[in-house]
Amino acid sequence: MRVNFLLFPALTQLDLTGPFEVLARVPGFEIDLVSASMEPVRSDRGLVLMPTATLASALPCDVLVVPGGPGTDDILNDRPWVDFVARQGAQAKFVLGICTGSLLLGAAGLLRGRRAACHWQAIEFLASFGAIPDASRICVDGNIFTSGGVTSGIDMSLKAVALIRDEDTARQIQLQIEYDPAPPFAGGSPNTSPAHIVERCLDANSARREVRAAAVARAAQALER
């Protein structure tokens, strides 16, 4: 099984590295990180990762994985990226979108009439691409797996391994990475976090929200044409 991860500038690196840790442990899964060029790629918070293939050189894949982050907004209207996701997403056996990565799946026309999850601060934008927003942490609709924000990609990848390969393999990986989570605080979703914490997140995100709204509107127009 060939697995292609999208690797673009200003991605949220844990959207990629969480699912990578899970999928790379499945026997027989061969992973590439696909970028515009072979130059190093910097995450939104400064982690620098190396691609292993380019949009032009990447092999067709069985599993396409699309992480999110602020960089998603920059490539929603960048034809080589959107066309790559449309082409490889249509051919892949399974498509995985993490966090705002599902917006890119939407811009590529893969989510029309499909249920999809997204980061809680961006989920309402999915409707612009004809998707049915689903507030679940893990959403499976046919061969398309999507997840809520960032860390939910770990849960979703384990689910995907169970369905794509088998449940025991997923459980073995879960135990290898000791994923029996015990966050130090209740919270972590807008429904479980205190109201003043939700407010802090919304305030910190207001500029990003405007950029994203404009990018989504433009990408949705392009998709309709």
Using rule CB under 8 A, residue 183 touches its own copies = yes
> Integer distance in angstroms from the first to the last C-alpha of the chain?
34
Per CB under 8 A, does 204 bind its own copies? yes
Distance of CA 33 to the CA centre of its chain: 13
Residue 103 touching its own copies (CB under 8 A): no
In the structure encoding, which two tokens stand for residue 55, read together? 């949009």
> Of these, 25, 87, 165, 208, which contacts its own copies (CB under 8 A)?
25
Q: Helix (H, G, I), strand (E, B), or coil: what is residue 48?
A: strand
- Residue of 86, 103, 151, 220 that binds its own copies (CB under 8 A): 151
Residue 99 annotated as catalytic: yes
> Minimum distance from CB of 90 to its own copies (Å)?
27
Distance CA 15, CA 26 (A): 18
Does position 138 interact with its own copies (CB under 8 A)? The reply is yes
Please tell me whether residue 184 binds its own copies under the rule CB under 8 A.
Answer: yes
Q: Are 92 and 108 in contact (CB under 8 A)?
A: no
Query: d(Cα 89, Cα 202) in Å, to the nearest integer?
Result: 32
The tokens describing 189, both together, are 């979703």
Q: Does 200 bind its own copies (CB under 8 A)?
A: yes
Range in contact with its own copies (rule: CB under 8 A) among 53-61, 79-87, 106-114, 190-198: 190-198
Helix%, strand%, coil% for the chain, nearest 5? 45, 15, 40
Does 209 bind its own copies (CB under 8 A)? Our answer is no
Tell me how far apart the alpha carbons of residues 66 and 64 are, in angstroms, rounded to a whole number. 7
The residues of the shown chain that bind its own copies, judged by CB under 8 A, are: 12-14, 17-18, 20-21, 24-25, 31, 33, 40, 45-50, 52, 99, 119-120, 137-138, 148-152, 154-155, 158-159, 162, 167-168, 170-172, 174-185, 187-190, 192-194, 196-198, 200-201, 204
